[in-house]
């Protein structure tokens, strides 16, 4: 996928486009991960808490999807000083992400209504699932719609 910041268009990169650009799939993949890391480093980290003494972290990114930053290879380095590691995350909309320390599962009950409302009102809804991110990312539950 390529996001053109000037037009806010998202374009899927096909094998044909890679060929036209003279890139292999591997080279394109390396560039994509590198670009995602660079976007994470540029993203303004905004603490939105504390909520019940727990710090929530959100991202303001110059990407069509702040939620994609959850997949950045350098996520741990970017958030661990603020939240610790591993983390839990929700991404009800492509531009709405909360990240917090995985040791604070009690926050899950407080965030349910926020996540469901954001998902229902979103122009680009993603998920009501809760993700645990460590060396891997996996869904550990979801909020009912």
Q: Is pLDDT above 60 for 4?
A: no
Q: What tens digit of pLDDT does each residue of 116-145 get?
A: 999 999 998 999 999 999 999 999 999 998
Q: What tens digit of pLDDT does each residue of 83-111 get?
A: 999 999 999 999 899 999 999 999 999 99
Tell me, what's the pLDDT at 85?
97
For residue 133, give both structure tokens.
């991110």
Q: What tens digit of pLDDT does each residue of 47-85 get?
A: 666 677 888 898 877 778 889 999 999 999 999 988 999
For the chain, what is the mean pLDDT?
A: 88
Question: What residue ranges do the domains of the chain occupy?
Answer: 44-142
Q: What percent of the chain has pLDDT over 70?
A: 89
Least confident of 2-11, 40-49, 124-133: 2-11
């Amino acid at each position: 996928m390529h996001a053109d910041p000037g037009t806010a268009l998202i374009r899927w990169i096909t094998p044909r486009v890679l060929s036209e650009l003279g890139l292999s799939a591997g080279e394109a993949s390396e560039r994509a991960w590198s670009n995602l890391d660079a976007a994470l480093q540029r993203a303004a980290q905004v603490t939105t808490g504390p909520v019940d003494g727990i710090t929530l972290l959100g991202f303001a990114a110059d990407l069509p999807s702040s939620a994609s930053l959850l997949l950045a290879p350098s996520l741990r380095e970017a958030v661990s000083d603020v939240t610790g590691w591993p983390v839990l995350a929700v991404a009800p909309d492509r531009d709405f992400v909360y990240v917090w320390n995985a040791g604070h599962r009690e926050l899950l009950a407080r965030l349910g209504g926020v996540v469901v409302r954001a998902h229902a009102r979103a122009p680009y809804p993603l998920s009501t699932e809760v993700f645990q991110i460590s060396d891997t990312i996996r869904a550990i539950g979801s909020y009912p719609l």
